[in-house]
Amino acid sequence: MISETLILVADDNQEIRDFLEEALETLGGYSVHSVGDGLSALTLVHELQPDLLITDQQMPNLSGIELIHRVRADYPALPVILMTGESSEALAVDALRVGATDYLVKPFDPDELLETVDQSLELAQKLRTSILQAMSGIEGEDEEDQQPGTMPDHLESAASVLFDLDEVLSGAVDTAVRLTGAEEGSLLLLDEVSGELHMRASKNFDDEFASTFRVHVEDSLAGQVISHGEPIILDENAPQKIKTSYLVHSLLYVPLKVRGKVIGVLGIDNRTPGKTLNDEDRAILMAMADYAALAIENAQLYIRSDNERLQLETILREVQNSVVVIDMDHRIIMMNQSAQEIIETEADPVGMNVEDVFKDPKLLALVMDSGENPEREELELGDGRVFGAVRTPIAGVGQAIVMQDISHLKELDRIKSEFVTAVSHDLRSPLTAILGYIELVQRAGPVNDNQRDFIQRVQTSVVQISDLISDLLDLSRIEAGLDTTKVVTDISKIIRDSVKGAEHYAQAEGIHLEMNIPEDLGFVYGDPIRLRQMIGNLLENGVKYSYGEGVVSVEAETEDDQVIIRVQDYGTGIPRADQPKIFDRFFRASNVPEELPGTGLGLSIVKSILDNHYGRIWLESTHGEGTTFTVVLPLHIPEDPQ
Ligand code: ADP
């Protein structure tokens, strides 16, 4: 049976590779993969994640020592055996210094090979087991499934995460000391503001010393590890004077890296002379440093996201607008207090389906609309308040509904409409008198040409004022909902009547009206006078803005349960920038000459009539080429007589 244990062999000599494969597979029962150069070996270590690496020293691209150095950075616990052709003491020391587990001097026989391989694998296994045991000890027996350094689910606040992090870091230092047999251990973290390292966790240091310990990055050994990102191992044999703020005889520091950035140092040391630290200790310490760094990174992430969540929650709670966030399946993700008051939910609505929570049919329809553009709706509450609700789709989340109390704006609007109605009414009588007396002036006696011209101008102006007053009155009546005369109406007849009504004006302006509508378009439920006025306004505009040239056509069709009416002209068109404001009261596009009569209210009336009939309108227009207004009205579907 082929063993699961995979050994990667790197040697540029084919015969040696064959020999190793043969010996390791047939005699040792290992799986073997071999390559001929150092760079390929490095790539394969990442790809295959072998259990052991055996490498030659002399290789193209990357030497054995360089390969070990590079592999060690990512895989501190991977055992590596270096093969050398020369029995050089110095090379062996170099190999062990960069992290080789053992070395073989060529020539070696199969027994020697297998013995070295077995020993290295055994050592690595022991190391792994003791680290794993140490880790599970730190994290508690019941959390075996947890990834090293991840935060347990039950943690609810940043404070408990920090408390837990302290335990994890102390555990990491404890384990490092226990596994290496060192006398003391410390975990130093860098304070970026002061540039000092302080002791975040320690083992066998005096508590007061640990809590007040500070060294500067620039003039300390630990600082060198921070600056260079490389481990430092020193003992009495090493010629360098050990610069720490306490007296030690041997010391090992490894960097703590979070996303490639060194944020601290994990260290062990001995104060007793004669005790040394070796590469195995370094591998243990590097593994523990990775573990501690992961825990710190997770805690940082947790605290950051927790802070952001709290901040967002506070903002949403405190804003006066009501906010509801809904997922793609129409379940409520979040609803702030103010929204809960409007929607009047009894239970906690989070997780519930909107259909079980929203009672207002308009609000429900708004939420169920799956359009990609923001939509708005007005909601009237039982207590008379009016809210403007805006639905905004959020990619990857669902949608947000923001509701704002617009009762005061509605009230202002109502007062303004009342005022306009009253004033308009009162203006009509004096206008009638002016028109009447102007008529009489002409009959009272002969007037000269000049006087006739002036009278004509007064008449035109009075007609304009009276048009404006009619439009204003119409608009305020429609908006106040005074049109209650809705009946089931034949929509083709409405269109035909409207065309007939506009014909006289079109002829006078030299425009031909075209109509293309099917005989039977169906029925709409509405006010025939207002519907005629709506189509009439669109036709008149088409004629007016064609400036005496071309045709204006009206066509209609039904689709599903609606009738679609299009009024098209080939006139002056509407500049793109003006299009969004075209239905606003008193708005006239920038390309309309000032002397052309008009109130800027016609399209507002059209829009209000359509709002009253659950219809919609939009336009397509190109400046200089013409305009098409499209109106959609719901068809009246007779109820099933059962
Ligand atoms: P007006 O009394 O000015 O015609 P409307 O409310 O009917 O007021 O129209 C508003 C503005 O929209 C007009 O002043 C004009 O600029 C533009 N407009 C409306 N219909 C057309 C059209 N068919 N072609 C070009 N411009 C149009």
Residue nearest to atom 11 of ligand 1 (CA): 588
Task: For a ligand 1 pocket test, name from 540, 588, 617, 620 the mutation site with the most ligand atoms within 8 angstroms of its C-beta.
Answer: 588
- What spacing in Å lies between the alpha carbon of 339 and ligand 1's midpoint? 40
Sequence-distant (≥ 6) Cβ neighbours of residue 544 within 8 angstroms: 509, 596, 598
500-531 pLDDT per residue, tens: 999 999 999 999 999 999 988 999 999 999 99
Mean pLDDT, rounded, for 156-167: 61
Q: Using the structure block, give the residue that is written with the tokens 């002056």.
A: 572
Going from the Cα of 99 to the center of ligand 1, the distance in angstroms, rounded, reads: 83
* Of 640 and 232, the one with more pLDDT: 232
3-state secondary structure 150-203: CCCCCCCCHHHHHHHHHHHHHHHHHHHHHHHCCCEEEEEEEECCCCEEEEEEEE
600 alpha carbon – ligand 1 mean position (Å): 7
Long-range Cβ pairs for the range 193-201 (8 Å, 24+): 197/222, 197/223, 197/226, 197/264, 197/265, 200/166, 200/169, 200/264, 201/166, 201/169, 201/170, 201/172, 201/173
Cα(25)–Cα(5) distance, integer angstroms = 10
Give the whole-number percent of the chain exceeding pLDDT 90.
Answer: 33
Residue pair 424/417 in contact (Cβ under 8 Å)? The answer is no
Return the best residue to mutate from 547, 596, 603, 628 for the ligand 1 pocket (most ligand atoms within 8 A of CB).
603
Mean of the pLDDT values across residues 423-444? 85
Name every residue whose Cβ is closer than 8 Å to that of residue 164 and which is 6 or more positions away in sequence: 151, 152, 155, 299
64-78, 419-433, 451-465, 618-632: range with highest mean pLDDT? 618-632
What values do phi and psi take at 35, rounded to 5?
-135, 165
For 619, the token pair is 């336009």
Pairwise CA distance, residues 568 & 514, whole Å: 10
The predicted-structure confidence for 4-22, as pLDDT tens digits, reads as follows 789 999 999 888 899 999 9
Residue 123: Cβ-neighbour burial (10 angstroms; 0-12, 13-18, 19+): middle
Residue scoring higher pLDDT (18 or 96): 18
Distance CA 48, CA 43 (A): 9
Position 625 scores a pLDDT of 93
Q: Could you tell me the sign of the dihedral formed by the alpha carbons of 622, 626, 632, 633, in that order? A: positive
**Helices 602-612 and 449-479 meet at what angle, rounded to 10?**
20
Q: What would the DSSP string read from start to end of 525-557?
A: EE-HHHHHHHHHHHHHHHHHTTTT-SEEEEEEE
- pLDDT at position 300, please? 79
pLDDT at 41 exceeding the cut of 50: yes
Q: Each residue of 359-373: pLDDT tens digit?
A: 888 888 888 876 666
Instruction: Tell me whether strands 551-559 and 512-516 are parallel, antiparallel or unpaired.
Output: parallel
34 in ligand 1 pocket by Cβ < 6 Å?
no
Separation of CA 624 and ligand 1 centre (Å): 14
Tell me, rounded to whole angstroms, the distance of Cα 390 from its chain centroid. Answer: 19
What percentage of the chain exceeds 70 in pLDDT? 88
CA of 545 to the centre of ligand 1 (A): 7
Q: Which atom of ligand 1 is nearest to the CA of 592?
A: 16
Task: Please report the pLDDT score of residue 144 as a whole number.
Answer: 40
Mutate to test the pocket of ligand 1, among 545, 546, 552, 620 (most ligand atoms within 8 A of CB): 545
Nearest CA-CA partner of 162 in 307, 260, 312, 311 = 307
Q: How confident is the model at residue 412 (pLDDT cuts 50, 70, 90)?
A: confident
pLDDT at residue 245, rounded to an integer? 59
pLDDT grade for 641, boundaries at 50, 70 and 90: low
Question: Which ligand 1 atom sits closest to the C-alpha of 601?
Answer: 6
Ligand 1 site, residue 568, Cβ cutoff 6 A: no
Comparing C-alpha atoms, which of 508, 511, 629 is closest to residue 574? 629
Closest atom of ligand 1 relative to the 537 alpha carbon: 7
pLDDT digits 0-9 by tens, 435-445: 889 889 888 88
Q: Is the pLDDT of residue 102 over 90?
A: no
Any ligand 1 atom below 6 A from CB of 603? yes
The residue to which tokens 């030497």 are assigned: 63
- Rounded to whole angstroms, the Cα distance separating 83 from 127 reads 23
Q: Give dist(CA 167, CA 161) in Å, integer.
A: 10
Ligand 1, atom 4, residue with closest C-alpha:
598
Please give the pLDDT value at position 267. 94
Q: Is the dihedral of CA 414, 416, 419, 423 positive or negative?
A: negative
What pLDDT does residue 178 have? 86
* CA nearest ligand 1 atom 25, residue: 573
pLDDT tens digits, residue range 264-304?
Answer: 999 999 988 888 888 888 888 888 888 888 888 877 777 77
Q: 552 alpha carbon to ligand 1 midpoint, in Å?
A: 14
Distance CA 208, CA 199 (A): 11
pLDDT tens for residues 335-391?
Answer: 888 888 888 877 778 888 988 888 888 888 888 876 666 678 888 888 889 999 988
Q: Name beta bridge partners: 258.
A: 261
pLDDT digits (tens, 9 = 90+) for 316-332: 777 878 899 899 889 99
Query: pLDDT class for 121, splitting at 50, 70, 90?
Result: confident
Bridge partners for 58 per DSSP: none
DSSP run (H or E) holding 206: none
Which position has the token pair 């079980």? 356
Residue 607 in contact with ligand 1 by CB distance below 6 A = no
Cα gap 200→285, rounded to integer Å = 16
How far apart are the C-alpha atoms of 165 and 162, rounded to whole Å?
Answer: 5
